[in-house]
């Protein structure tokens, strides 16, 4: 009996409180069906060679419809971060996608200093459309951490017709006030902030809440000095006032990272809301 009790206790894991609610853990993660598939494609916007990585669960069936989870890496990294990294944000993204039988896609999106500039944006539009052509894709959720969390919000604001859900982990939503990585962002956007503030506003999700009608989850840390949380907190507050399906997990003592439990809760929230909305149609 003691062994049985121990096993039952091990199988019952509870995630932290959020917004006053205790969230139970989901089922154990599914296994990937094989080695990651590193895909090469020619970018339509400039003809350059670009790449993304795909992961599938063991339950993958080509003839069935599968939702798509896109994971965008952080500054200084590339497409392999969310595929191989053991940090909480990356493991949670993989586990959520595989557990729910989703196609997991991790693109370079112009790699280490992307920040979702025009070329990265064009690449991601191309990737989504090509995956929908090659596979039976249902709903599309765009996510990421840090630069990737920022870029997920940017892409959703620019292309809401392509996005059914958003998960932003330690991102920001206002390029006009953000002071970090100015050289990298200027190179990505094609101009410095003072030279072309309209481009920076265009890529700032905070200015376009009317476009963000899809389920959205965001994690932030009160002591994050690398990508300060203020703009995302303002954005989620506005979206909540508009009765949008939003989950904000803010840790006042947290820094520039999100643990596995909070990350998984963010993904599970968005996946559930996206699928609930689809079932009602």
Residue by residue, DSSP assigns 165-203 as EEEEES--S-TTT--SSHHHHHHHHTS-TTT-HHHHHHT
Report the C-alpha gap between 170 and 256 in whole angstroms.
6
Kindly tell me the sign of the dihedral angle through the C-alpha atoms of 156, 150, 148, 33.
negative
- Of 210, 260, 204, the closest CA to residue 232 belongs to 204
CA angle 151, 233, 237 (to 5 degrees): 115
Half-sphere exposure of 33 toward its Cβ, with a 13 Å CA cutoff?
16
Q: Is 81 left (phi over 0), alpha (psi -120 to 50) or beta?
A: alpha
- Report the C-alpha gap between 246 and 237 in whole angstroms: 9
Could you tell me which of 231, 194, 199, 216 has the C-alpha nearest to residue 269?
216
Residue 68 CA to residue 209 CA, distance in Å, equals: 23
**How far is it, in rounded angstroms, from Cα 270 to Cα 69?**
11
The pLDDT of residue 29: 53
Q: Which listed CATH number (3.40.50.360, 3.40.50.720, 2.170.190.11, 3.40.50.1820) goes with 26-280?
A: 3.40.50.1820
Return the pLDDT at 69: 98
- Where would I find the H helices in the chain? 2-11, 81-84, 88-99, 118-134, 147-158, 182-189, 197-202, 230-241, 260-280
* Distance in angstroms (rounded) separating the CA atoms of residues 117 and 70: 17
Give, as one character, the DSSP assignment of residue 243: T
Specify the pLDDT at position 62: 87
Task: Output the six-digit token pair for 93.
Answer: 């993204």
Whole-angstrom distance, CA of residue 171 vs CA of residue 229:
7
3 state DSSP class of 87: coil
Length of the chain: 281
| Domain assignments of the chain as residue spans, ordered by start | 26-280
Q: How many alpha carbons lie under 13 Å from residue 156 in its C-beta half-sphere?
A: 33
Each residue's pLDDT expressed in tens, for the chain with a length of 281 residues: 443 343 333 333 333 333 333 333 344 455 566 689 999 999 999 999 999 999 998 878 889 999 999 999 999 999 999 999 999 999 999 999 999 999 999 999 999 999 999 999 999 999 999 999 999 999 999 999 999 999 999 999 999 999 999 999 999 999 999 999 999 999 999 999 999 999 999 999 999 999 999 999 999 999 999 999 999 999 999 999 999 999 999 999 999 999 999 999 999 999 999 999 989 87
Cα torsion 72, 74, 75, 80: sign? negative
């Amino acid at each position: 009996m003691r062994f049985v009790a121990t096993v039952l206790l091990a199988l019952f894991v509870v995630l932290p409180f959020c917004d006053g609610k205790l969230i139970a853990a989901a089922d154990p993660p599914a296994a990937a069906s094989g080695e990651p598939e590193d895909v090469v494609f020619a970018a339509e916007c400039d003809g350059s060679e670009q790449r993304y990585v795909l992961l599938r669960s063991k339950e993958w069936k080509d003839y069935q419809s599968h939702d798509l989870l896109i994971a965008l890496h952080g500054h200084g990294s590339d497409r392999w971060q969310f595929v191989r990294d053991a940090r909480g944000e990356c493991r949670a993204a993989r586990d959520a996608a595989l557990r729910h039988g989703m196609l997991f896609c991790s693109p370079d999106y112009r790699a280490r200093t992307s920040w979702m500039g025009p070329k990265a944006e064009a690449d991601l539009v191309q990737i989504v459309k090509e995956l929908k052509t090659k596979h039976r894709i249902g709903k599309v959720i765009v996510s990421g951490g840090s630069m990737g969390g920022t870029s997920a919000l940017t892409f959703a604001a620019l292309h809401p017709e392509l996005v059914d859900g958003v998960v932003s982990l330690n991102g920001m939503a206002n390029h006009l006030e953000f002071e970090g990585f100015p050289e990298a962002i200027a190179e990505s956007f094609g101009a410095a902030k003072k030279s072309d503030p309209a481009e920076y506003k265009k890529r700032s999700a905070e200015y376009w809440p009317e476009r963000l009608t899809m389920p959205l989850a965001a994690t932030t840390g009160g002591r994050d000095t690398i990508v300060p949380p203020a703009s995302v907190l303002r954005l989620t507050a506005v979206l909540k006032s508009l009765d949008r399906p939003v989950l904000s997990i803010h840790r006042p003592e947290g820094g520039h990272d999100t643990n596995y439990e909070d990350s998984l809760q963010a993904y599970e929230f968005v996946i559930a809301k996206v699928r609930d909305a689809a079932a009602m149609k």
